[in-house]
Amino acid sequence: EAQVTQNPRYLITVTGKKLTVTCSQNMNHEYMSWYRQDPGLGLRQIYYSMNVEVTDKGDVPEGYKVSRKEKRNFPLILESPSPNQTSLYFCASSSGTERYGYTFGSGTRLTVV
């Protein structure tokens, strides 16, 4: 089944403790992206990647890192999480470019205390 898989689904962590949210897609998509979803703010793009070793900032990149060493994986790294990063995170992938639409993962609910 074609899908985007994120792990974990739920995570509670403490301020300052580094964490990684994994994202993997099995559709051989070139384009991958991370979004965060907050009430009243909709979805905001954190980082995106147009191909292996090619990443760029989205609208809200502060406090996040990404890497794209393989085509299928696009992990999101929070080096020193803070409470304002409590949010629902989505990984998404697209063939070619975003204009064809995204396939989304099921989301990761992160709470930073």
Partner 1 sequence: AQSVTQPDIHITVSEGASLELRCNYSYGATPYLFWYVQSPGQGLQLLLKYFSGDTLVQGIKGFEAEFKRSQSSFNLRKPSVHWSDAAEYFCARYNFNKFYFGSGTKLNVKP
Residues that bind partner 1 (CB under 8 A): 4, 33, 40-43, 45, 90, 92, 97-107
Comparing C-alpha atoms, which of 79, 88, 74 is closest to residue 32?
Answer: 74
The least CB distance from residue 15 to partner 1, in Å, is 26
The least CB distance from residue 43 to partner 1, in Å, is 4
| HEC secondary structure over 15-41 | CCCCEEEEEEECCCCCEEEEEEEECCC
Structure tokens at 54: 């090619």
The least CB distance from residue 99 to partner 1, in Å, is 4
**Which residue, 19 or 92, has its beta carbon nearer to partner 1?**
92
**Which residue, 64 or 102, has its beta carbon nearer to partner 1?**
102
CB 32 within 8 A of CB 75: no
